[in-house]
Structure formats: structure tokens, C-alpha cells
């Protein structure tokens, strides 16, 4: 039998609004593994930010940073760090404008502003602690994502200056993600397919949000959560129930994976 793999987004897919993993989801993932199906997480977060979820579900394969850092069975199979030269340039512009930055590698978050109120307000739900103060972290470490803290009417200059170099994705009224241009969860899935020599038709993906759309279309079968955005549902091949209505279980059952 050919290998199969299922990718799961985290927020709104594996976990609900209360940051809980439904029991039916936990049981479904155990059954998937018993059935010989590979299981992976696909998220925009850094690995250190979802480590408790990986441990709880015993998952050792993942696409993180929206495709910039990809791991298969604890082995790094693809990574796309941001250019230190360009981070330095954008840092100089941000300093002049009074906009702080947070730098993310696969193990931790650091920042160039100590105890900054905006950083604290934006990241308290994402990270257990305030990022470590370490200006110039990117000079000696690979950085896969930068958080830029500015409001929407202040971002145009950055977008214009770095078009084709970085992608800017706003996730908070005061914060943007800075990622390598063209990165996506779909890129991470491609790395898995190449590593595992797996057919597209045997790739399944569950998601609910805008950054899941490319993954849902790249997979052989894209499955949108019932609580997902309209755009995600339109991109998917199938819409299952919501995360709190055992959506993972019903989606996997529908396709005979469990």
C-alpha cells in the first residue's frame, strides 16, 4: 500500500478557540498512526511555539513558519532563512520610525526593544514569555521570521522597499509577519512529497484560514473545517464539521483514513 500523509493546521483545526484539542481529535490521530498513515502539523508558528501540542499528540513531523522550516521525523528537510543583510536594512528603517522588531528562529524569540508595551500586548497569546532582549540576534543566527510592530497606515513604505524580497502578512492591528517571498505551507508539503517520494493523491490537508488556502489546493485532498473562512472552504475539496463538532474525526472517516 502506498504511503499516505495528513497535514493539520493548528488554530481552528487541531485546537478550538479555547486552545483545547478535542478528545475525538486526539483519538483520531492515534488511530491514523495505527493505520500506518503519517501525521504532520502545518502552521505559521515557529516550532518552539507549538512544542506542547506536538508532545501531546506525539507528532515529530511539521511544516513551520509557513514553509520556511520543515521537519520530517525530527530531521530538518527544508529551510529558508531570511537574509541577514536585508534584515539589517529593514531594522535601520524600523529604528528610525520607532517600530520594534522580534526575530524568530526555530528555538526562541528575541527582540531589539526591551519591555516594549506593543510587543507585550501583541505576543502574550503567542509566547509564554516576553522575547529575550538581543539586538543583532540575526547577525549570528538563522532567522525564519521577523515580527514588525507598526499600524496599517505605516506599513506601505516597507512593502514598497522590499517588494520581491519579503512577504508582509498582517495578523494584528499593530503587528506584521515578515517572511521570505513566496513561502507557504504548500512549499513545505512539496518538501515532504520529495523526501517521502509520496504521490500527491495520497496527501491530505486540514485547514480553516487564509494561510491554509495554498496548502488545501496543493494537497491531493484539501479538507476545510466547518468553522473555517469562506475562502478556505471554497479552496477545499471537502468541508467537514467544525473543530468543536468532531470535524477532524468526521473528515478522516469520510475519506476512509480511520
Residues 6+ apart with CB under 8 A from 55: none
pLDDT in tens, 70-108: 999 999 999 999 999 999 999 999 999 999 999 999 999
Mean pLDDT of the chain: 95
**2, 3, 9, 105: which one is catalytic?**
9
Dump the DSSP string for 44-79: SS-GGGSHHHHHHHT---EEEGGGTEEEETTEEEEE
Q: How many domains does the chain have?
A: 2
Residue 191, domain CATH: 3.40.50.1000
Distance CA 29, CA 6 (A): 10
Could you list the residue range(s) of the whole structural domain that residue 167 is in? 84-180
Residues 93, 218: Cα–Cα separation, whole Å: 36
Cell numbers 468553522 correspond to what residue?
227
Give the CA distances from residue 118 to residues 65, 74, 98, in Å, rounded to whole numbers and listed in that order.
22, 34, 11
Alpha-carbon distance of 189 to 198, in angstroms, equals 10
Residue 149 sits in a domain whose CATH number is 3.30.1240.10
| Final residue before a domain boundary, out of 150, 180, 210 | 180
| 48 and 70 share one domain | yes
Query: Given 165, 180, 195, which residue is the final one in a domain?
Result: 180
Instruction: Name the residue with higher pLDDT: 164 or 4.
Output: 4
> In the prediction, which pLDDT does 1 show?
67
CB 239 within 8 A of CB 221: no
Site of grid cell 466547518: 226
Rounded mean pLDDT of 38-65? 96
- Catalytic status, residue 9: yes
pLDDT at 210: 87
**Per residue in 126-138, pLDDT tens?**
888 899 999 999 9
Q: What is the pLDDT of residue 227?
A: 97
Mean pLDDT of 52-64: 97
Q: Are residues 92 and 110 in the same domain?
A: yes
Mean pLDDT of 151-168: 92
| Interval 227-242: pLDDT, tens | 999 999 999 999 999 9
Q: Are residues 89 and 176 in the same domain?
A: yes
91 shares its domain with 35: no
- Domain boundary residue among 146, 180, 214? 180
Amino acid at each position: 500500500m502506498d504511503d499516505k500523509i495528513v497535514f493539520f493546521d493548528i488554530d481552528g483545526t487541531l485546537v478550538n478557540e479555547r486552545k483545547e484539542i478535542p478528545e475525538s481529535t486526539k483519538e483520531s490521530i492515534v488511530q491514523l498512526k495505527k493505520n500506518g498513515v503519517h501525521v504532520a502539523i502545518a502552521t505559521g508558528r515557529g516550532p518552539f511555539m507549538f512544542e506542547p501540542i506536538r508532545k501531546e499528540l506525539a507528532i515529530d513531523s511539521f511544516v513551520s513558519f509557513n514553509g520556511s522550516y520543515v521537519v520530517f521525523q525530527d530531521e530538518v528537510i527544508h529551510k529558508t532563512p531570511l537574509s541577514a543583510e536585508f534584515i539589517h536594512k529593514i531594522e535601520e528603517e524600523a529604528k528610525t520610525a520607532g517600530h520594534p522588531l522580534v526575530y524568530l528562529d526555530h528555538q526562541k524569540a528575541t527582540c531589539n526593544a526591551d519591555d516594549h508595551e506593543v510587543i507585550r500586548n501583541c505576543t502574550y497569546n503567542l509566547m509564554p514569555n516576553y522575547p529575550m532582549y538581543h539586538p543583532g540576534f540575526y547577525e549570528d543566527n538563522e532567522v525564519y521570521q521577523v515580527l514588525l510592530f507598526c499600524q496599517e497606515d505605516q506599513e506601505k513604505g516597507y512593502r514598497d522597499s522590499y517588494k520581491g524580497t519579503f512577504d508582509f502578512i498582517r495578523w494584528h492591528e499593530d503587528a506584521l509577519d515578515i517572511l521570505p517571498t513566496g513561502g507557504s505551507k504548500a512549499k513545505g508539503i512539496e518538501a515532504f512529497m520529495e523526501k517521502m517520494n509520496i504521490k500527491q493523491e495520497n496527501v491530505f490537508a486540514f485547514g480553516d484560514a487564509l494561510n491554509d488556502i495554498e496548502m488545501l489546493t496543493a494537497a491531493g485532498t484539501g479538507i476545510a473545517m466547518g468553522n473555517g473562512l469562506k475562502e478556505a472552504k471554497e479552496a477545499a475539496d471537502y468541508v467537514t464539521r467544525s473543530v468543536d463538532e468532531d470535524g477532524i474525526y468526521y473528515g478522516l472517516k469520510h475519506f476512509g483514513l480511520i
